[in-house]
Structure 1
Amino acid sequence: MQMITIISIWCILASIFSPSEALANCPPGCQCDDNTLVVQCGEGQLDVLPIALNPSIQRLVIKSNKIKTIDSSIQFYAELTFLDLSSNHLMTIPQRTFAYQKKLQEVHLNHNKIGQISNKTFIGLSAVTVLNLRGNQISELHQGTFTPLLKIVELNLGENRIGFLDPKAFDGLRQLRILYLDDNALTSVPDPVIFQAMPTLAELFLGMNSLLTIQPAAFQDLKGLTRLELMGASLRNVSHDSFQGLEELRILDLSDNRLARIPSVGLSQLVRLEQLSLGQNDFQVISEGALVGLKQLKRQDLNGAVKLKRVMTRALLDNGNLEYLNLSSNKMLVEQLEGALSGLRHLRHVVKKPNALSILAEDLFPWTNRVTLYLSENPIS
């Protein structure tokens, strides 16, 4: 009965408002363009989705308003390809809300108050490639939650409260390439079974959780992963086999953790790694051959390691392709031994500000290179 009523209303509206008259029904504070089929509403007082817009619109952007739910009026806009309802007051998404949105490709519901989603929430979104749920209050993901999203490429679940992940929560996401799970309540790296459902995953964000450690072979099924972000994940330990299987990894961020030493053995398996961030950890020394095996490394960030005191001779001996080295804001770094950066023929940029360096060894750098050296705010005598 409700569906008949909705269809009747839509038919009445369609007969009253032709596309050429749709501009007259544009809500205050919104811009409605019937040529581009775009409706964009600025910050305002809208608390429900407009019901009398041109039913042919393709892009609907209503950010920073007071909308509390996505009601049945969304069904009037079956031609939508882009929907942005970020920074509203959404608390729930009724089941089958998007059942008629067969053309939607991007859905942005970030920074709302959504607390629960299920395997019926996203029914109908078979064309969606980007779903943004960042900054909500989701705490659990159950089996098959995202199964209707057959074509999804990017899924952002960062800044939620997720502490429970069913091993089959991401089943069906075989085209997923980017997954954000950062800044949640995870206490361990998700079960490897979860990653088996996403064989094409290229970028994974797990930082700002309380992982403490990375269990052996945690990422072994992510053969195509090129970027792994573990910044601020409370890591105290990385095992020798933590990064097993990540032969294609290019970017790794382990900064802002509690690592007492550089996990040299674990890192040595990342033979294609090009960018590595290890700053803001607790190690005191960068030992000789600390990054052995990383022959493709081009960028190294070791900034803000407040306990770092020494960089040993030939510390980066195996990193002959290094181009950029950041050793800034290491307040206790008082000694960098001669030859510590020897053999780095491609080194072009070195940042060492501010530290506690008082002496710069004459053969510290391969001076034949054109090296840009930043040494300000050091007590060099």
Structure 2
Amino acid sequence: MFNTIDILPDYVFHGLQNITILILQYNKFRELREQAFDGLYNLVYLDLSHNNIIILPSRIIQNNEKMKFLYLHHNDIAITGPFLISPSLTLLDVSFCKITFLPHDAFIGVPNLTKLKITDNHITEIEMYAFRGLKRLELLTIRNNDVTTLDYSLFQGLDELRFLDLSNNSISIVPYGLFEYNRKLTYLFLKNNSIILPHTGAIFKSDSVLHLDISFCDIKYMPNDAFIRLPNLTTLRMTGNPLTSLKTEILQPLKKLQIVLLGPEANCSEQSFRDVFEYFEENSVVYYAPPLCNSEPTSTDPQSIYTIPITTEEPIYEIPTTSEDCVYISTPVQNNSSIKLTCSFYINNSLINVIVLFCIFMICR
């Protein structure tokens, strides 16, 4: 890596059967030949990132039967048909490749992928069957693109999908049944889109989604039955939306709700949110939200402590739930809400007293 290699002849690595890791990032490749990696029978990890690759033969790693990880990010790759053929590949990263379009059957030749990263491209259109055949895919990130529409059957067949990130696109409509057949989908990120919600009815249907992020989606109004088809939701992030009111009826179907991050774009919440905050307290839902407008600062109470919100950095499949984890403590103030990160343990006063008395006893002894 960090050389000026621009050509790899066919069979250049022939005879190097023990190589398992090959890193060629930060070179000057524009085109790779189909037999460039032939002979690397034990190759598992190949990094071709940060080059100028425009042409990549679809069969270039077909004969590397143990290949699992391929990094192609930061190149100039165009996907015009079935992209690669590799029955063994499990991770593919084509982020920052200036990709504008995903055709149908784009990944049909890599059926055993478990992680696919297509972030930070210029994708405007994804054809209906672009992800067909990826029955083992667990993580799919398409954030930071220009996607505007999602076909209702786009994710059908992704039976193992657990983590889906569609943040920072231009999506306006989320089809009602888009995620209905992704039975294991747990984390769903739709942050920073311009989602138009229906006037009535559920925003979409999913029995498996536990963590949903619809922050900064320009949502002005939330229908009463918005979450009626998300029965198992436990974490909801909806900060940064210009909501002026929110009814408790909207949240009542969420019987398993544990954590909510809520707040308009303003520095304080409208008085109409008071009923919602009281609902959270009555139902032991831990929440963060700016203080009510025209209200006096309040001291930190148990409702202002919550587990660290998950980020979109994969492969996060678990959210901390024990008291031994780091927590955010939010202290509402009049014009702004400060948040500080702390790692603490929940210890009651009696236990502290016992510890102090024991220490005094040992010192005296």
**Cα deviation 1:347-368 (Å, max 9, x = unaligned):** 35179xxxxxxxxxxxxxxxxx
Asked if residue 110 in structure 1 is aligned to residue 73 in structure 2, the reply is: yes
Q: Give the 3 Å change call, closer, same or farther, for CA 321–65 of structure 1 in structure 2.
A: farther
Q: Structure 2: how far apart are the matches of 1:177 and 1:379?
A: 39
Cα deviation 1:298-356 (Å, max 9, x = unaligned):
22222462384332224452672423x2225x8xx51469xxxxxx9x735179xxxxx
Cross-structure match for 2:356: none
Say yes or no: does 1:56 pair with 2:18: yes
CA distance in 1, matches of 2:3, 2:284: 53
**Residue number in structure 1 paired with 2:274:** 312
Q: What's the counterpart of residue 270 of structure 1?
A: 230
Tell me the SS of whatever aligns to 1:110: coil
Cα contact 1:55–1:79 (8 A) shared by 2: yes
**Aligned-partner SS, 1:179:** strand
- Report the TM-score when normalising by structure 1: 0.71
Change (3 A) 1:274 1:48: farther
Q: Does the 8 Å contact 2:224/2:247 carry over to 1? A: no
Unaligned runs of at least 5 residues, structure 1 = 1-40, 338-343, 352-370
The change in CA–CA distance for 1:185 and 1:314 in structure 2 (over 3 A counts) is closer
Of the structure 1 ranges 68-77 and 304-313, higher mean CA displacement relative to structure 2 is found in 304-313
Aligned residues: 308
Letter in 2 for 1:82: Y
Gap change, CA 1:264 and 1:114, over 3 Å in 2: farther
Shift of 1:94: 2.0
Query: CA 1:288 to 1:59, structure 2 compared with 1: closer, same or farther past 3 Å?
Result: same
| Residues 280-295 of structure 1 aligned to structure 2 (within 5 Å) | 280-295=240-255
Distance 1:373 1:155 in 2: 35
Contact 1:156 1:179 in 2 (8 A): yes
Aligned to 2:293: 334
> 1:374 and 2:337 equivalent?
no
Q: Is the 8 A contact 1:141 1:165 kept in 2?
A: yes
Contact 1:60 1:82 in 2 (8 A): yes
Which residue of 90, 93, 97 corresponds with 1:136?
97
Partner AA of 1:205 in structure 2: D
Instruction: Find out whether 1:187 has 2:143 as its counterpart.
Output: no
What's the counterpart of residue 202 of structure 1?
162
Q: Does 1:165 align with 2:121?
A: no
Shift of 1:379: 8.1
Whether 2:7 is the aligned partner of 1:45: answer no
Deviation digits for residues 107-144 of structure 1 (CA, Å, limit 9, x no counterpart): 1111211122421x312x10111111111122222232
Please report how far the alpha carbon of residue 194 of structure 1 lies from its aligned counterpart in structure 2 after TM superposition.
2.5
Aligned to 2:202: 241
Identity across aligned pairs (percent)? 22
Partner of 1:95: 58
**Equivalent position SS for 2:218:** coil
In 1: Cα distance, 2:333 partner to 2:8 partner: 55
User: How far did 1:101 drift?
Assistant: 1.7
Whether 2:93 is the aligned partner of 1:122: answer no
Of 166, 187, 212, the residue aligned with 1:227 is 187
1:145 positional shift: 1.9
> TM-score w.r.t. structure 2 length?
0.74
Task: Write out per-residue CA displacement over residues 159-210 of structure 1, whole angstroms, 9 at most, x where no aligned residue.
Answer: 222233232222211111111222222212x223222221221121112221
| Structure 1 position 271, deviation (Å) | 2.0
Residue 114 of structure 1 aligns to a residue in which SS? Answer: coil
- Structure 2 gaps of 5+ residues are 308-327, 338-365
- For the residue of structure 1 that corresponds to 2:153, the secondary structure is helix
